[in-house]
Structure 1
């Protein structure tokens, strides 16, 4: 990513939050690097050096600012194909992929050769993937030391270090400080929980996202009220182990962040949990670009996001179950599926209990058992077939998956139509230009009877058709309420 120093400095002077996380500034007079929204006195232009990533700043010898904390900056959305592959690889690295996997395996995951990925990654971030991964481990460790009271050994392992000794040596070498220097009072809201802030770029329609999620919440798996989103979660690790717990998210508008509280049972997978929460709330979005492009359509709800799923497989099952039935009926079926096939999470708040079943769990279920939850045979067979594809790794339902290959694989499963494919692309693959073709609400509200006419009309919204879809759904619901 090419950075224009003069433009970056003007942004730094303005402390423009729209560009938080898009670049970092290293100050040669202090040896510190900051976010462009840091509240410290603005350094002189001649002392400023601009970097596309935290890893690039640290490779140049700068240490992270203790005030603005660069590890808290918002991430990037998948804005275009040229940078999408590099961003996809970065997202996987942030989740800890290279803690257990290789660069070649990472390249295979995003659908390119290792050589090509190394080249485009360096162009995008200014460092190698290994350097980037090392910086992410250090910043996660710094975050855990600052925001929790976890023992040093737990911090080292949760951040992806193989040993406490390796963690201490690298921390001292990179930052010139003992790791315990960052230890502060625990931010735990109560015993057995951990709390972390995740930043966003304003505006952010917290109420709009809550209403979207609340209308679709699965009883006992999710809880939504006017200020909180909570749910049970299950993560299948690469070693096959299942880790379950619960999370609760609240809004902290004064900090331009959401606050994520999670059960201590999720400590081994903190990085992955936080990455998935970012997907659910679409925190990498650029509302300044999207709302400007959509114009009047977005004016009534600026900063609306396209909510993702905690797992892409869950979104896919939601889409399959929801084909041609009402949302309330789909919620009832999904709750039955979770109660029967999910794991139980004891001690969760708000009456939460089962997790939504993982792909490996449903891959071993017969379609006849799934039919007992209230769905047709063809949908039950589609869910089991998809579960087998996801569990085997042949299909990856996540933002970093190769788009066209994934969509083609989904179309090849009997019982998955184009509306379902596009809905999965919109919420599981985070594809901003997805359009659920033939959607009854879109067709009726916009006055079209043919899918071709809808697609032609929607071309004005490209490349943000998924965001436009949510706004049309919202307007249709408002019109319905005012009849």
Structure 2
């Protein structure tokens, strides 16, 4: 996108927010970089240059605009849509892998040399993994400075910096302000709010239809781990340095996010997992335009545009729950999962609601006595085999996963067929093109709108929907009256 200068200039001149996160505008005269929708008067076209990432702008010596705050714009939808090396690397960096394991750890997870990863990121993103992680640390530092009472020294290490000097230098370079000056710009910053609790705004590209997104999460919520309370979806989070609790509330122009963290070092990871859960980096205009081109789908899209794919904050958790939900009702699946949570999940305190546990890890589930699992023998075998493979790493569902390879590994396990594998691909792996032609709800909806109803014919017709078939699934599911399709009251 950033290489198409004519289109970029037009987007900046029209202040088009749809392109926020797709590219960044650097102004040669002021040495400032902005998002395309920056409210200030656009610079002359000859003074604009364009970069694919905030990290590339910072590496080239530009500082972030104080008006449009480009460092907090929605992420590029490319890193969710694609499944190649660069996209997987970007997802891993967003999950804090470079901060925890360094560039060698990032490369090892991807199965490439550090040099290859560096070269590919420089070619596409304009910055290497260290620069991208540094930009992410700067963004985290800004959030902590502006929204918490933490001392600057604690913020430095919580944001992932190795020293206070590196923290001070980075903040000054990126924002042209010292950390103290940055805090002073926000009225009440550093004073309000309980330690460890942060109130944030998660941006997204409009439109966003929250009905099926929050309806699905609320209707399938596992007691003790998730709940719908006071207009918010709340759940527990198992994070690299501790646990957390998040409350997510849909607003007209953002998602209100209230995070309670046991360790502030988990802030960036928690935010990115919440964004991934709600599919907030999607490009709904591109998705809906493709699906609207099918005259049979167009009425569904026009009726409620901007549907997202509800995903997950924990890929292994979702895979286990997908097997628990095979051939049973939503209520029965929740009951099975709740029993496992009570028996094997790690307890925690929730002063604000009814959350009691973290969902048990694959290792904990693998140690469970199969005889205590109240399910048919064949499904019990499927479940124990899956959690054992997740625990020993034979099957990996993390951000580094190759989607095609992982799907093939899942299908090789006993009791996991195309429906289960594709639900996991859609919700856990984040594959925007996952499709469920055998799903009874999809086939019923297809018949109601005039689409083919046999799996083979429906799959053939859906070729025109690529690479957004997972979103077509959401529009088709939404034709029913199941609670997953409605925002709870």
* Common fold: TM-score over 0.5: yes
* Secondary structure of the corresponding residue to residue 438 of structure 1: coil
Aligned pair in 2 of structure 1 residues 226, 399: CA closer, same or farther (>3 Å)?
farther
* 1:57 aligned residue: 57
Aligned pair in 2 of structure 1 residues 365, 399: CA closer, same or farther (>3 Å)?
same
Q: Distance in 2 between matches of 1:360 and 1:480?
A: 30
Q: Distance in 1 between matches of 2:479 and 2:196?
A: 42
Aligned length in residues: 471
- After TM superposition, give the deviation of residue 82 of structure 1 in Å: 6.6
- After TM superposition, give the deviation of residue 162 of structure 1 in Å: 2.1
* Secondary structure of the corresponding residue to residue 223 of structure 1: strand
CA contact 1:422–1:437 (8 Å) conserved in 2: no
* 1:141 aligned residue: 141
Aligned pair in 2 of structure 1 residues 46, 59: CA closer, same or farther (>3 Å)?
same
- After TM superposition, give the deviation of residue 469 of structure 1 in Å: 0.9
1:466 aligns with 2:470: yes
* Secondary structure of the corresponding residue to residue 49 of structure 1: strand
1:193 aligns with 2:197: yes
* 1:263 aligned residue: 260
Q: Distance in 1 between matches of 2:459 and 2:338?
A: 34
CA deviation profile, 1:84-136 (whole Å, cap 9, x unmatched):
43122112112221113243432342344544433321121112222222222
Q: Distance in 2 between matches of 1:423 and 1:166?
A: 43
Q: Distance in 1 between matches of 2:409 and 2:311?
A: 20
Of structures 1 and 2, the one scoring higher in RCO (CA 8 A, sep 6+) is 2
* 1:15 aligned residue: 15
1:358 aligns with 2:365: no
Q: Distance in 2 between matches of 1:177 and 1:82?
A: 36
The 5-angstrom pairing of residues 153-192 of structure 1 reads 153-172=153-172, 177-183=177-183, 184=186, 185-186=188-189, 190=194, 192=196
* 2:428 aligned residue: 428
5+ unaligned residues in a row in structure 2: which ranges? 293-297
Q: Distance in 2 between matches of 1:13 and 1:30?
A: 17
Query: Which deviates the most, 261-270 or 56-65?
Result: 261-270
* 1:278 aligned residue: 275
CA deviation profile, 1:48-94 (whole Å, cap 9, x unmatched):
22111001111111111222212211112347987743122112112
Deviation >6 Å, runs of 4+: 79-83, 478-481
RMSD after superposition: 2.5
* Secondary structure of the corresponding residue to residue 6 of structure 2: helix
- After TM superposition, give the deviation of residue 480 of structure 1 in Å: 13
TM-score, scaled relative to structure 2: 0.89
TM-score, scaled relative to structure 1: 0.90
Aligned pair in 2 of structure 1 residues 62, 343: CA closer, same or farther (>3 Å)?
same
* 2:295 aligned residue: none
5+ unaligned residues in a row in structure 1: which ranges? none
CA deviation profile, 1:274-303 (whole Å, cap 9, x unmatched):
111011100111100111111113222211
CA contact 1:26–1:50 (8 Å) conserved in 2: yes
CA deviation profile, 1:243-268 (whole Å, cap 9, x unmatched):
12211012332xx3212111131423
CA deviation profile, 1:202-257 (whole Å, cap 9, x unmatched):
0011233111212211123212258311111212x3xxx6x12211012332xx32
The 5-angstrom pairing of residues 433-444 of structure 1 reads 433-444=433-444
